[in-house]
Amino acid sequence: MDKKEYIKRQISRTNKKDYENYVITRIIHGVDDLNVKFITQQYVKRPNGRALADLYFPQMNYFIEIDEGHHLTQMEADKARDADFEDATGVKPKRIDVASKSIEEINQQIDEVITEIKSLITEKKQEERWVDWDLEAEMSPDTWIKKKKIHVNDKVAFRKIVDGCKCMGLNYAGYQRAGANHPFEENTLIWFPKLYPNGVWENEFDESKGLIIERNIESVEKRHAHIRSCLNDNRQRRIVFARVKGMLGDVQYRFRGVFELDKEKTNNEIGLVWTRVSKETRTYDYM
Amino acid sequence: MDKKEYIKRQISRTNKKDYENYVITRIIHGVDDLNVKFITQQYVKRPNGRALADLYFPQMNYFIEIDEGHHLTQMEADKARDADFEDATGVKPKRIDVASKSIEEINQQIDEVITEIKSLITEKKQEERWVDWDLEAEMSPDTWIKKKKIHVNDKVAFRKIVDGCKCMGLNYAGYQRAGANHPFEENTLIWFPKLYPNGVWENEFDESKGLIIERNIESVEKRHAHIRSCLNDNRQRRIVFARVKGMLGDVQYRFRGVFELDKEKTNNEIGLVWTRVSKETRTYDYM
């Protein structure tokens, strides 16, 4: 996928029936910079489930919400939402009111947002903290090998399992279904699990607590056998690239951190419990 | 409906699955002028049926076509289409190729179109031929009363029958289901017909020939009775505002010209035949 396809798909996800498409396209065309990445309908975690931000610029950590309806109860709900938003992202979303405003006022709000975005970009460039949007590089293991480490906050996601292996210094050979033995770190598996219920596995992942639960529900015997075999395996440290659906519905493997088996919490009822010991891990060049 | 609602609805008709929405919104936001009217999916007559232009600026008579697919056969078809287009509108459409071009090249093509549109506007303003887009005025009878006449080419369409009556000098009173007697012109009916098959009427309208055919198909007796009664009626001159569906699915009454009963062509088989005698008629102030 190239930027042309990416942009089309992102814009195609905006709702046409209301003003969302109008506002978002005015912002994108107004910013008018193919080095600036944007994401429409970005998931944001909330205490009770999650919310979608209408537009998100990851390079500037800038979120935009389009307010279609506005009465007082709505404004209260928005305040609660903004607070949750700030907890999750560190920033308040910028709100654009389209419900009670004229087209001239809507345009004015949007143009202020565009000015703000442009000055954030300029600021980052002056401070030399700006990196151009590079769709290919983002998903290339070489980018992360060069950086010498990956962090959960980098939101690294690879298209293929082999790319995750590569940045751990392993070139294809040696990959197995469950993952691959780390070539340089002892007792460590490079792991590509599905961290959600799938088939006979009732797996869970809690990002805020940094916990993975792995539970076989095929039968009591199989669950116990699986737990026993892991407790007897020396690879109780895992570098986790979880299989997720990408923004555009494609399969990706997203770095979730380094986990270790929590023998205290693990038991035959709950299943295996893995605890995150680091949000960061170093990368290695492959041969 | 105000411009805010109009713009939203026009943009909402663009196809989201391809590049149409991207291109059209970039043009609209780039031109960035609420005094410039645009129409998406404008019908254009062709010898074999009709075509939709992706974007149309009526003030400049400027059409834009977005080319999604491009092989040689397509290009041949486009040439034929451009020729038909020119016959119908007097101009060739501007084509934007999105199929074989990169996003940078697409943006460049669009930006050239925006520059061209802006210079057309400037030109018209310098020649004092520019009229700002005024959504309310367009549909107000007062606008046409002030102009002292309406012409088919003005594409006048009113929201209500009473508005058509008003600009003929008649304020509401005197309106009947079939139309209203013209208060100042003899033997003339202000007529608001459905010029398409509806219920027991198989009506037709041919714009290029300037012909209306009115035919009752309920029974031979009723058809003959209707023809007889019209031949005996002295109001054989008609100012026609045809009931049509507006761009946005709303009912409108569009001025089609002045027609007279063609007694030569009218017969019991065909029905009543009305021939256009003028594309223009004068307007009158109402009390």
Q: B177 or B259: which carries more pLDDT confidence?
A: B259
**pLDDT for residue B166 is more than 90:** yes
Domain that holds residue B193: 135-282
Indicate whether B287 belongs to any domain: no
Q: What is the CATH number of the domain that holds A60?
A: 3.40.960.10
Q: Which of A2, A3, A6, A8 would you mutate first to test chain B, the one with the most B CBs within 10 A?
A: A8
Residue B89, pLDDT score = 77
Nearest CA in chain A to B33: A104
Nearest CA in chain B to A8: B19
CB atoms within 10 A of CB A284: 16
Mean pLDDT to the nearest integer, B186-209:
93
Closest CA to B8 of A187, A18, A261: A18
- Give the percent of chain A with pLDDT over 70: 93
B21 and B93 share one domain: yes
Number of domains composing chain A:
2
A174 and A194 share one domain: yes
Indicate whether A287 belongs to any domain: no
The beta-carbon neighbor of B22 closest among A7, A34, A102 is: A7
Q: Which helix (H) or strand (E) holds B240?
A: strand B237-245
Three-class SS of residue B41? Answer: strand
B70 and B203 share one domain: no
Residue A1, pLDDT score = 73
Residue A254, pLDDT score = 93
Residue A26, pLDDT score = 97
A68 and A147 share one domain: no
**pLDDT for residue B106 is more than 90:** yes
**Do residues A266 and A246 make contact, with C-beta atoms less than 8 angstroms apart?**
no
B58 and B177 share one domain: no
Chain A residues with beta carbon closer than 8 angstroms to that of B104: 34
Indicate whether B74 belongs to any domain: yes
The beta-carbon neighbor of B102 closest among A4, A30, A106 is: A4
Three-class SS of residue B262? Answer: coil
Indicate whether B117 belongs to any domain: yes
Minimal C-alpha gap between A66 and chain B (Å): 14
Residue B175, pLDDT score = 67
Mean pLDDT to the nearest integer, B238-258:
87
A117 and A139 share one domain: no
Minimal C-alpha gap between B20 and chain A (Å): 9
Residue that is last in its domain, among A126, A150, A182: A126
Chain B residues with beta carbon closer than 8 angstroms to that of A14: 16
Closest CA to B43 of B240, B246, B279: B246
B103 and B167 share one domain: no
Residue A18, pLDDT score = 79
CB atoms within 10 A of CB B133: 17
Mean pLDDT to the nearest integer, B31-35:
97
Chain A residues with beta carbon closer than 8 angstroms to that of B32: 107
Q: B153 or B38: which carries more pLDDT confidence?
A: B38
Residue B43, pLDDT score = 75
Q: Which residues of B touch A (CB under 8 A)?
A: 2-4, 7-8, 11-12, 14, 16-19, 21-22, 25-26, 29-30, 32, 34, 102-104, 106-107
Cα B55 from Cα B24, distance rounded (Å)? 7
Q: DSSP assignment, residue B227?
A: H
Residue B279 sits at φ, ψ, to 5 deg, of: -90, 0
Minimal C-alpha gap between A3 and chain B (Å): 7
Residue A29, pLDDT score = 97
Residue B91, pLDDT score = 85
Residue B279, pLDDT score = 93
A93 and A172 share one domain: no
A69 and A181 share one domain: no
Chain B residues with beta carbon closer than 8 angstroms to that of A17: 12
Give me chain A's average pLDDT, please: 89
Residue B214, pLDDT score = 95
Indicate whether A278 belongs to any domain: yes
Residue A266 Rama label (left phi>0; alpha psi -120 to 50; beta): beta
pLDDT digit string, tens, across residues B43-66:
777 777 677 789 999 889 899 999
B260 and B232 share one domain: yes
Does B16 contact A21 at a Cβ distance shorter than 8 Å?
Answer: yes
What does chain A come to in residues? 287
Residue that is last in its domain, among B126, B160, B177: B126
Residue B139, pLDDT score = 86
Minimal C-alpha gap between A105 and chain B (Å): 10
Cα A283 from Cα B242, distance rounded (Å)? 73
The DSSP secondary structure of chain A, one letter per residue, reads --HHHHHHHHHHTS-SSSSHHHHHHHHHHHH--TTS--EEEEEEE-SSSEEEEEEEETTTTEEEEEE----HHHHHHHHHHHHHHHHHHSSPPEEEE-SSS-HHHHHHHHHHHHHHHHHHHHHHHHTT------HHHHT-HHHHHHHSEEEGGG--EESSHHHHHHTBT--STTEETTEEE-SSSTTEEEE----SEETTEE-EEETTTTEEEE-B-S-HHHHHHHHHHHHH-S--EEEEEEEEE-TTS-EEEEEEEEEEE-TTT-BTTTBEEEEEEESEEE-B---
Q: B234 or A52: which carries more pLDDT confidence?
A: B234
Q: Which residues of A touch B (CB under 8 A)?
A: 2-4, 7-8, 11-12, 14, 16-19, 21-22, 25-26, 29-30, 32, 34, 102-104, 106-107
Chain B residues with beta carbon closer than 8 angstroms to that of A34: 103-104, 107
B118 and B17 share one domain: yes
B47 and B89 share one domain: yes
The verdict on ipTM greater than 0.85 is no
Cα B285 from Cα B287, distance rounded (Å)? 7
- Contacts of B76 by beta carbon, 8 Å cutoff, 6+ apart: none
**Do residues A213 and A269 make contact, with C-beta atoms less than 8 angstroms apart?**
no
Chain A residues with beta carbon closer than 8 angstroms to that of B21: 11-12, 16, 21, 25
Read off the pLDDT band of B25 (50, 70, 90): very high
Residue B71, pLDDT score = 61
Residue B17, pLDDT score = 64
Residue B245, pLDDT score = 82
Residue numbers of chain A with a pLDDT score lower than 50: none
Does B21 contact A11 at a Cβ distance shorter than 8 Å?
Answer: yes
Nearest CA in chain A to B24: A25
Residue that is last in its domain, among A104, A126, A148: A126
Mean pLDDT to the nearest integer, B182-199:
94
Tokens representing B94? 């501007």
Give Cα separations from A31 to A10, A238, B117, B150 (angstroms).
16, 41, 21, 44
Residue B16, pLDDT score = 64
